[in-house]
Amino acid sequence: MAKGLLKDFLWGGATAANQCEGGWQEDGKGIGLIDVLPYGPDRMPVAKGEKIMLDCDDEHLYPSHEAIDFYHHYKEDIALFAEMGFKCFRMSLSWTRIYPNGTEDAPNEAGLAFYDDVFEECLKYGIQPIVTLCHFDLPVALLKEFGGWKSRKMIDCYLKYCETVFRRYKDKVKYWITFNEINMLNHLPFSSCGLMVEEGENGQNVKYNCAHHELIASAKAVKLAHEIIGEDCMVGCMLAGGSFYPYSCDPRDVWQAKQTERGNYFFIDVQSRGRYPNYALKWMERDGVVLDWQEEDEQILAEGTVDFIGFSYYCSRCDTADPEVSAKRTAANAFRTVRNPHLQASEWGWQIDPLGLRITMNDLYDRYQKPLFIVENGLGAKDTVKDDGTIDDDYRIAYLREHIRTMIEAVTEDGIPLMGYTMWSPVDLVSASTGEMSKRYGFIYVDKDDQGKGTLERKRKKSFYWYKKVIESNGTELD
Ligand code: BGP
């Protein structure tokens, strides 16, 4: 056993309802934001809120509608997770399965029953569910009615949903996450939380008010979870992580990188410390932001701080003050980052930086001193099924091996308390950014292509057997 890794370290994998469930209108489910996000050239403009499409049409393909049909394959998928020895499974609830429009008085029993079945299936194998309440997914009806998180009314809708699921699943779920990658509001404002800026509105004002409502909702949810489920439950925040490096040691680059990084930390600074950081208050003052600040908000934020820092890590990022260097950017999980000449990139341009995970963990722990949880890390790559049906994904094994190695070093050499590691995603699913199926992450291959064709058959890749060994050895056998 690796010295320092917890004996009951939570090894597992992470998915999200909107990218795997399908069954988009089954058993009373309402339409979620992600259900109107098309595949193809319109996807990014819609995801960024530049183009508004709140209804589906016949011209577009909508990957979430069937996704990988986890809705009907969950038993098979969870059995495969159990075969790899998972200790936990991070998943999200689809808000619209439970409150189809978000404003009903009573929840949809069929939706609640589905998650009962999923949790029972996990617990049968001793797999702890880690549940994200809102992973890029909210009722479209709330967007149409209130304009989404721009409105303070969203807080009550969210809390009603939280209260329902906390009461229903209190004996089955002990780990919760309030919002997935809350800082994604900066990068994909529509797909992350339904933000639409209308003409004439101050974009910064809308953004910060939207964030404020989410932060109040998150704090209230943390408190409520502890009241309903008890003190043994843990509620975390979730950052789209990856430290920012200055492109050079020019102080102007250092300053620029710090500022950009703060734009992401801002959200979890509030969730973790229970108050707004001074730099953010100054930014809002500068940008003419008038926050919907109610008298009780100070206390709500202070009383609802998170128990752990959840974060995703795919790559590090880089920034510069030099406009010429700044023009050469590449993708970094929806962020556009300056290309780092020291790193190689994935087929989608995300720069591969295992040591960056250790750096990010240290940065986060230095900043918050709360237990960390790596709730996403993985490599999106094209896989080939050979004639004999096998899939040799050595590139994925290499990526994960090096990241897990530095993760263990952060624990054993730097003393960072780490609750667990859920790799994204144990089973191939729809890519959040591109809507592709061919951007595969899984240990388990799913027969489906970008056009939505395929049998949905599941197959174990080479990495499946590798990860099983990693878990069995608690991280000592990585080769
Ligand atoms: C994170 C999201 C996930 C997931 C992952 C990979 O930002 O939380 O939902 O999709 O990134 O990104 P992509 O699917 O775009 O490759």
**pLDDT tens, 289-325?**
999 999 999 999 999 999 999 999 999 999 999 988 8
CATH placement of domain 10-472? 3.20.20.80
Across the range 446-460, mean pLDDT stands at: 97
Q: Which of 135, 136, 185, 333 to mutate to test the pocket of ligand 1 (most atoms within 8 A of CB)?
A: 333
- For ligand 1, atom 10, the nearest C-alpha belongs to 432
* Ligand 1 nearest-atom number relative to CA 18: 9
> Which DSSP category does 244 fall into?
E
Q: At what angle do helices 153-169 and 203-229 cross, to 10 degrees?
A: 30
Return the bridge partners of 239, or none: 311
Contact 228, 166 (CB under 8 A): yes
Is 331's pLDDT higher than 90?
A: no
Q: How far apart are CA 134 and CA 180, in angstroms?
A: 6
pLDDT surpasses 90 at 330:
no
Pairing type for strands 418-424 and 308-313 reads unpaired
Convert the pLDDT of each residue in 156-208 to its tens digit. 999 999 999 999 999 999 999 999 999 999 989 998 889 988 888 899 999 99
Nearest to 403 by CA among 426, 379, 427, 382: 379
pLDDT: which is higher, 232 or 221: 221
Terminus-to-terminus CA distance in the chain, angstroms?
Answer: 15
User: How far is the centre of ligand 1, averaged over its atoms, from the C-alpha of 446 (Å)?
Assistant: 17
Q: Transcribe 319-331 into DSSP letters.
A: E-S-HHHHTSEEE
Sequence ranges of the domains in the chain: 10-472
Q: How far is the CA of 386 from the centre of ligand 1 (A)?
A: 27
Please tell me the predicted confidence (pLDDT) of residue 328.
77
Q: Is the per-residue pLDDT at 88 higher than 50?
A: yes
Ligand 1 atom 7 nearest Cα: 333
Q: Which amino acid makes up residue 152?
A: R
Residue 30, strand partner residues:
none
> What pLDDT sits at residue 333?
62
Closest ligand 1 atom, residue 181 Cα = 8
* pLDDT of 461 strictly over 50: yes
DSSP code string of 60-127? S--GGGTTT-HHHHHHHHHHHHHHHT-SEEEEE--HHHHSSSS--SS--HHHHHHHHHHHHHHHHTTP
- Closest Cα to residue 314, out of 429, 464, 413, 433? 433
CA atoms within 13 A on the CB side of 284: 19
Q: How far is the CA of 124 from the centre of ligand 1 (A)?
A: 28
Q: How far is the CA of 16 from the centre of ligand 1 (A)?
A: 9
For 127-168, the pLDDT digits (tens) are 999 999 999 999 999 999 999 999 999 999 999 999 999 999
DSSP secondary structure letters along 256-278: HHHHHHHHHHHHHHHHHHSS--H
Binned at pLDDT 50, 70 and 90, residue 102 comes out as very high
Q: Give start and end residues of each alpha helix (H) in 125-245.
A: 140-146, 153-169, 189-193, 203-229
Q: Which residues line ligand 1 (CB under 6 A)?
A: 16, 19, 180-181, 240, 312, 333, 376, 380, 424, 431-433, 439
Residue 432 CA to ligand 1 centre (angstroms): 5
Output the six-digit token pair for 209.
Answer: 């008010």
Catalytic, 227? Answer: no
> What six digits make up the tokens of 148?
């989404």
For residue 1, what pLDDT is reported? Answer: 42
- The amino acid occupying position 160 is K
Ligand 1 atom closest to the Cα of residue 439 is 16
Residue of 193, 424, 428 best suited for mutating to test ligand 1, as the one with most atoms within 8 Å of CB? 424
Say how far apart CA 194 and CA 197 lie, in whole Å.
Answer: 10
Amino acid identity for residue 309 in this structure = I
Residue nearest to atom 4 of ligand 1 (CA): 432
Residue 375 half-sphere exposure toward CB, CA atoms < 13 A = 32
Listed residue (119, 156, 142) closest to 196, CA to CA: 142
pLDDT for position 2: 45
Nearest-CA residue for ligand 1 atom 15 is 433
- Per-residue pLDDT of 357-411, as tens digits, reads 999 999 999 999 999 999 999 999 999 999 999 999 999 999 999 999 999 999 9
Token pair 């990218």 is found at 19
The answer to whether the CB of 350 falls within 8 A of the CB of 380 is yes
Which of 181, 214, 261, 409 is catalytic? The answer is 181
The reported pLDDT for the residue numbered 338 is 87
Q: How far apart are CA 33 and CA 419, in angstroms?
A: 31
User: What are the distances in angstroms from CA 20 to CA 110, 332, 456?
Assistant: 18, 22, 11
More confident residue, 2 or 235: 235
Spatial contact of 157 and 169, defined as CB atoms under 8 Å apart = no
Alpha carbon of 398 to ligand 1 centroid (Å): 20
- Give the Å distance between the CA of 433 and the centre of ligand 1: 7
423 contacts: CB under 8 Å, gap ≥ 6? 12, 13, 14, 376, 377, 378, 400, 443, 467
Instruction: Give the mean pLDDT of the chain.
Output: 95
Looking at 66, 214, 261, 376, which residue is catalytic?
376
What pLDDT band is residue 4 in, cutting at 50, 70 and 90? low
Indicate if 181 belongs to the active site: yes
**Sign of the CA dihedral running 370, 375, 376, 377:** positive
